[in-house]
Structures are given as C-alpha cells and as structure tokens.
Structure 1
Amino acid sequence: MNQRKKQLLSGLRSIARMGETAVVAAKAGIKYATEQPNQAQLMRETFEELGSTYVKLGQFIASTPSLFPREYVEEFQKCLDQTPALPFSYIQQVLAEEFAGQDLNDIFQSIEEKPLASASIAQVHAAVLKTGEDVVIKVQKPNVETILYTDLGVVHFAAKMFERIVPKVKFASLSDIVNEIRVRMVREVDFIEEAQNLEDFKQYLQASQNTIATAPKVYHQHSTRRVLTMERLYGVPLTDLDVVKKYAKDPSQVLIGAMNTWFGSLMMCPSFHADLHAGNLMLLRDGRIGFIDFGIVGQLQPEVWSACMKFMDALQQTDYDNMAKYMLQMGMTDQNIDTAVLSEDLQRLFSGVLLSDPQELLSTKPADLNDIMLDIVGVGERHGIRFPRDFALLFKQMLYFDRFMRVLAPYTDIYADNRLQMLHDIEPASKLMH
C-alpha cells in the first residue's frame, strides 16, 4: 500500500509538472508573438524559469558547440545554476526519508540550518557527525528525480515530433541528443556515482604519489543516492590573491600544481573533473590544493587529449598540415577528409592578428578563447568532423584556468613555464586504477 501511495503521488507530481511546463511555455509563446525578442535569449530565460532539468539542458547546449548554433551556445553560457535556498524543513524531510529507521541525532551532532550553497539539484549544509568530524552534507532537493524524468519525457516527445516535421535535422538525431542528456543528468542526481568519482580521483592521487592535492573523504555509511556526506575542507578560493598569499609563498606554483594534477587526471583517472571553477578549487590551510564537487565529470580517451596537445603545439608552430592531421584525431567523422583543404581553412582562420605572436594564443581573454573554440568547431563541421562533447568540457576548463592565471600569475606565461606538464608520460588509467 505504501509503495502504491508513492507511485500515485509521483504520478500526480508528474501531471502537475506537465501543467506547470505548459503554462511557462505558453507565456514564452505569447511574449515571442507580441514582443519579437531575441530567440536565444527568450529560450534561455524560459529554461531558467522552468528550473533544474532545463537549466542543465541549457548548460548542455552551452558546452556542445558541435551540435547547436553558435548564437545559442553563447547565450546559454549565461545559464545560472544558483537557486534560492529551500527552507531547512525540506532538507530535514529528505534526510528523514533517506535514513528512515535511524535517529538523525545518532548520525549528526549538529547541522547548520543556513546552507553553504544552493543549486538546481542539491543544497549543501555544514554539519558535525556524532563522532566529531566536520562534514558537509549534499542533499538532493525534493522531487528532483520526478521532475527530471517528467521533463525529459516531454523533451523526448518534442524531439520525436520535430524529427518527423524536419527529417534532416542538422548534425545528429535529436532523440540521440536527448538520450545523451538523460544519461548524463541521471548520473548527476545519483550521489552514489558522485561518491565513486571522488574515490577514483583519490585513488589517482595515491597512484601518482601526488601529495600536493586532495579531495574530501566520503562517509559511505552516511550517504545514499540522494544524500552525500563528505569531509569538510577548509580553505580559500584561488581567486583571492591576498588571502592565497597568506598560505603560499608563490601563488603561481599553487596554480601550476592544480593544473598539473588536473592534466594528469585526464589520462590516469577514469573521469576528469569537468566543472573546476572558483567554487570547486581551493587552497587549504596546510598548503594543499582541494578539489571538491565531482557531480559533473567528463571522460576522455588519452589519445584524444594527446591529439589536442599536439594540435596546440602545431598551432604555435603555425604548422597547418599537422593541425589538420591532429584535428582529425580529436574528432569523429565517417567521411573521407581532404587534409590539404582542411589545412587551408585552418590557415585562413588563424592567419589574422592572433598569430602575429603565436605564443600568445593561450594568453588571450577568455571571451577570445571561447571564440577560438567555436571557430575551430565551425571549421570542423564544414569538413564533416564532429567533436565529442567532452572536448567542449575540456576547453571550458581551460577558460577557467585562464581566469585563475589572471589572478595568481598575471605577469607569467604559465603555458611556457617548464613546471607545467600538460601531457603526462604515464600509464593509461585502466592499468593504474585496477
């Protein structure tokens, strides 16, 4: 009876969600008909109003330039994932459901009511375990899974209808794209998988004898699919130079250590941290670099990263023939590519002001780097080359590092620094992780 009641409630929530979606979509339709706003902007604002699933969908669009028009890719990079905090009573409700049969006072000595962070899928609270350890609790917001599956059902239906109306959908089947979104988003709401991502990273640090970085310990006995309890790390963000200087004599060394750790994970770890912004990377009080929040990860074949690095090296050498060769290795295609023509296209793309000094390629502004990525993708598309989504995640992280450089090493060419190891000569992940 209890199970049937849960199913009934879930069904009612799904119906309510579809009604809510219809109302928001209708409002957007009226606004479009009466005001004729920018389509990409209206779509982004509508997605943000629809909440968690659509925010994540917008972020997918922003990080997949090989599948979506440039205007939409750029607009959805503004998609915000921060949401108003839920009342603490909701968090208590989820904790009570997940730890049913246990007294929460037997697990937690205290839980701070004010959250440390609140995003579309989860809210994070500081707490102290009964055994005395300081922890953070990542708690999934109520009904997120129901909303997720309902929304993706609506999106999948719409994609199928669109495919019937427009059979020649550009680049890929829309239903395949929706399925890719579904797989990634379902993973993000499964905190057991996030806990495994954390364990993989910590195992990589141990295997590579890396002592300059760390990640939170997971308390598996106090974690479920909807609750993740982790060690609390105390530190400062890498975007506050004055505070960083209190814990490190050479801020640039901190950044290089973080980058070397991340670059090594591309080849040694089953997945790489794909959202390493200022909130997820910190300098701890003991001088180590803390990596947190492994909800969004990417997976990259070592040969793809190797080809990326060789492509960048060829670009700095203005060797367009090799650039064309390595671009093919980075992407995917079922066509016979004329590398000579591709080489000519790349030369036209990069023969402007940018290459007046090739060494300055990776020292340009983040906005310029983003344009470079979109231009590279555009050239690839014209030749039938599709880049894996993780290529965009990779490049997005390079933009994050660029922002860190401007704070921690504004007068240093980090990419020319011999302390930086972008391509590690190491055993592949499959050997190190088993």
Structure 2
Amino acid sequence: MIGNIYDKLPKAVSLGINGARRVRQTAVALGRTGLERALGDRSAPPDVLRKLFERLGATYIKLGQFVASSPSLFPEDYVAAFQQCLDRTEPVPFHRMLKILKQDLGAGCLGEIFADIDPVPLASASIAQVYAATLTTGEKVVIKIQRPGVADILVTDLNFLYYSAVALETVLPRFKHASLSGMLSEIRNTVLEECDFIQEAENIAVFAKYLEDTGNTTVMVPRVYPEASTRRVLTMERLFGIPLTDRKQLLATTSRPGDVLGPAFETWMSSVMGCALFHADLHAGNLLIMADGRVGFIDFGIVGRISEKTRNGVKKLVPAMITLDFVSLAEAMTAIGMTREKVDTARLAHDLKVLYDAGESDDLADLENGYAPAMVVDPDRFMLEMVRVAETHGIRFPREFTLLLKQFLYFDGYRDLLFDMGDWMDDMMPMDMPAGMPRFFLPNDRHTL
C-alpha cells in the first residue's frame, strides 16, 4: 500500500526548482509569524493562521477561503477568522505582466490588439491582476492576466498537500474519517479551474446564454473577446458601473436601490434553479449598478454547480425561509444535508425559530406581522449559526449548499447597506414559487433612506 503512494508521488509533487522555492518561501513566512509571536503578538490562533495563509500566497489564500465556506467541516472560530482572509496582494510590476501578455497573444499585441494599456492595475489578487485597456477598434476593455508562475505554485503546493494527506490516511487509517485527501482533491480541482481563464470565459458564455434564453434584460455580463483571450489572459468588456461598495454614489443615483437589486436577486435565484451554474462569489464588488439601471455580474472565476437533490431542497427551502415556516424549513434542510440518523424535524424547527427570534433587536420588536425578525447583522455569522443548529441535529451540508447560502446572505447584507429595499420581493420569486410572500430579506417598510 505504501508502495502505491510512492508510485504516485513523482507524478504529483515537484521536487525541482518550484519545490525548493516554495520551501524557502514557507520558511520565511513561518519565521516572520514566529518572530511576531515572540515579540508579543497575542492574536488568537485562528487569526495567526489566517495571517500566515495570506503571507504564503495563492494556494493558502484559496485554502483559507475553502475553510471560510465550509462551516460543516471546520471549527466555528476558524471559519469566522477566515471570513476575513484577504485575496489582495502587492502587484507584480507591469513589465513582467506584459511579458505574459506577449507570450500568449504575440509580441505585437500592444499595437495590433490593444491600442493602450494602463500599467497601474485596477485590482491585484493572488491569481491575477486586472488592467484597463482600449482595443485598436476602440472598445474599452479590462485584461485579466495571470500572475507569473502562479499555476506552477498552485500545482506544487496542492499536490504536495494532497499526497501528504493520502500518505497520512494510509499510515493512520483513522484519519480517513476526516476525508482530508477528499477535501484537498476538491480544493485542487476548484482552484485549478479558477486558473483556467478559458473556463471562466465559458462560465460567462453559459450565464449569458441563460439570460438570452430567458429574455432577461435586467442583468448583464461583460462581453468576452476570445481572440484576445487564452488560458492565462482574459479580455472582457469594461463595465462602467457603481459597485455596491460605493453606497454614497449609489444612493445619489437612485432613491430606490431595491428596484434595481430586486431583479438581480430574482435573476440569481432563478439561475440556481434553471441554469447549469450560478455565480458563487457575489460580494459587493462583483455587482455593478449600470447607468441604464441594469446590474452587471462580473468575475465568474468562482461558480457553483448544484446537484438535483440540492436544487429540489432549495426549492422547498426558499419559500419556507420567506414565510417563516420552520417545520418546512427543517424538512428542507434535512433533505439537503447528509445525515446518518433520523432527524427530529419538530425539534429542529423549534431550534431554528429560537435562532431567528434571537436575531430580533429590541427596537424592532414591534415589527408588523408578516415580517421576519432582523437577522444577525453579519451574514457570515448567521450562516455559521444556521449550520451549527443543523449540526446539533446530525446534519452536515454539502459545500455547494453553504456556497449557495452565503450568496443568499450577501443579498440580505445589502439590505443593511441600503436600508429600504422597496417592494421588490413580491415579484422576485421563480415561476414555480409563490409570489407575494412576506419579505424575509428586507427591513421593515418604516425604514427610509
């Protein structure tokens, strides 16, 4: 059995220059973290580990994001800490990024394809940097360029971690119950897919086709320029919109932001039910309010694909959440989750009601009937609490569902950001869900801008 592991190692683990470089980088990051600890840093262990992951770069940032989106698998304090895992890095100098661009699109791409490129990146993350540019045909675009060597680093790190987990589970069989190799295999596949910009372009195409097929004119995605895109370079239409992070500018353009965000939520919700994929990273920076009132969905590097079982469970879950039917909610959660024993849905329903009631603040205690109590202010915290309640009843959710739930809670968080979301929930539900339900994700109508 051990021999089988050794047979696999040469195929997966780079022991050459990349491996040596990563050993050195890891040693430097560990040394810096240890020094800070010795000099008096008394941060909690989860925060120390998060900072270390950020210093170790792309692979470990992605691992941290996996921890943050998997509350069924990791301790609550670590999940909460890794919610703050920042995917922002010091930008690589432009001349090095331009070298990758020329390698993939040709030495004359600057002049033949692009009339100009702003050398200051719009964004710099662990996997790629984004630049504003203009095509020779006049269109304003953004170019997403993969950081040099990042794919090799990811392969080296993830393969090493994966085969280390395989070896550990072989030598110590009790670790098989933790399914470390299974988790790392999932992370590896997900992260390497995120590095494939051709796949991201296909994700955009699938979602754009879904919008076209459903006649949706309220949401848009950027146009992709295939002739200026490769596995490491993605050229897209630049959307000049207002991100939800800019609350002041958004409220200066409309007095009823809910009239814009409502259709966006409806589109996202219906895509969960009817599209081959759904956007799984709808933080405020990835939603742009356009001048014509449409909402732009950007950055399809992280998408979700749910099983038929989860999809059917969600169809029951959403109306149950909106109507505060805790028994139906408990039944839907049981259907979605994985459990080895029979769940007492009556007890689970009671515990869910306690959780919802606990989110009710004193000044909102007199909300009219038909409105849900205010949820925990932090959407991530509410997700953790919901999962915690389910776990006490022996339910473990698949990661696809926690990704889904987090997007729900992103939208609910925008309620707190923008206060009055108007009456958009009446029309937001997919056709197979009843309309006119009480507003779950919204504050009371008394709240005005």
Instruction: Tell me whether the two structures share a fold, i.e. TM-score over 0.5.
Output: yes
Structure 2 equivalent of residue 189 of structure 1: 195
TM alignment of 1:232-271, pairs within 5 A: 232-244=238-250, 247-248=253-254, 250-271=256-277
**1:122 maps to which of 120, 123, 128:** 128
Structure 1: gaps (5+ residues): 1-8, 427-434
The answer (yes or no) to whether the contact 1:140–1:189 under 8 Å persists in 2 is yes
| 1:411 equivalent in alignment to 2:420 | yes
* Pair 1:414–1:79, CA change in 2 (3 A): farther
- Counterpart CA distance in 1 for 2:257 and 2:331 is 37
- Could you report, residue by residue, the CA deviation over 1:171-192 in whole angstroms, capped at 9, with x for unpaired residues? 6400100001001000000000
What RMSD in Å do the two structures reach over aligned CA positions?
Answer: 3.0
**2:375 maps to which of 364, 386, 396:** 364
The answer (yes or no) to whether the contact 1:332–1:388 under 8 Å persists in 2 is yes
* Pair 1:290–1:37, CA change in 2 (3 A): closer
| 1:24 equivalent in alignment to 2:35 | no
Give the % identical residues: 43
Partner SS, residue 135 of structure 1: strand
- Counterpart CA distance in 2 for 1:158 and 1:116 is 37
The answer (yes or no) to whether the contact 2:169–2:176 under 8 Å persists in 1 is no
| 1:425 equivalent in alignment to 2:436 | no
The answer (yes or no) to whether the contact 2:196–2:232 under 8 Å persists in 1 is yes
* Pair 1:291–1:350, CA change in 2 (3 A): closer
- Could you report, residue by residue, the CA deviation over 1:390-413 in whole angstroms, capped at 9, with x for unpaired residues? 2221222223212322343x1347
Moved more, 381-390 or 308-317: 308-317
Moved more, 331-340 or 14-23: 331-340
1:63 is aligned with what amino acid?
S
TM alignment of 1:285-296, pairs within 5 A: 285-296=291-302
- Counterpart CA distance in 2 for 1:115 and 1:339 is 51
- Counterpart CA distance in 1 for 2:29 and 2:335 is 43
| 1:380 equivalent in alignment to 2:417 | no
* Pair 1:402–1:324, CA change in 2 (3 A): closer
- Counterpart CA distance in 1 for 2:332 and 2:316 is 7
* Pair 1:413–1:327, CA change in 2 (3 A): farther
Structure 2 equivalent of residue 5 of structure 1: none
The answer (yes or no) to whether the contact 2:376–2:382 under 8 Å persists in 1 is no
- Counterpart CA distance in 1 for 2:53 and 2:316 is 38
TM alignment of 1:133-282, pairs within 5 A: 133-160=139-166, 162-163=168-169, 167-169=173-175, 172-244=178-250, 247-248=253-254, 250-282=256-288
| 1:396 equivalent in alignment to 2:406 | yes
How far 1:247 moved relative to its partner?
A: 4.8
Structure 1 equivalent of residue 64 of structure 2: 58
Structure 2 equivalent of residue 11 of structure 1: 16
1:219 is aligned with what amino acid?
Y
The answer (yes or no) to whether the contact 2:258–2:422 under 8 Å persists in 1 is no
How far 1:12 moved relative to its partner?
A: 1.4
How far 1:302 moved relative to its partner?
A: 5.6
Moved more, 331-340 or 111-120: 331-340
TM-score norm. by structure 2 comes to 0.83
How far 1:104 moved relative to its partner?
A: 3.2
* Pair 1:97–1:353, CA change in 2 (3 A): closer
- Could you report, residue by residue, the CA deviation over 1:267-322 in whole angstroms, capped at 9, with x for unpaired residues? 22211111112221111222221111111111124653453353354456564443
The answer (yes or no) to whether the contact 1:255–1:405 under 8 Å persists in 2 is no
How far 1:155 moved relative to its partner?
A: 2.1
The answer (yes or no) to whether the contact 2:375–2:382 under 8 Å persists in 1 is no
* Pair 1:287–1:19, CA change in 2 (3 A): same
- Counterpart CA distance in 2 for 1:132 and 1:266 is 36
* Pair 1:258–1:88, CA change in 2 (3 A): same
Structure 2: gaps (5+ residues): 1-13, 434-449
How far 1:360 moved relative to its partner?
A: 5.2
Structure 1 equivalent of residue 102 of structure 2: 96
* Pair 1:109–1:317, CA change in 2 (3 A): closer
* Pair 1:24–1:359, CA change in 2 (3 A): farther
TM-score norm. by structure 1 comes to 0.85
* Pair 1:272–1:182, CA change in 2 (3 A): same
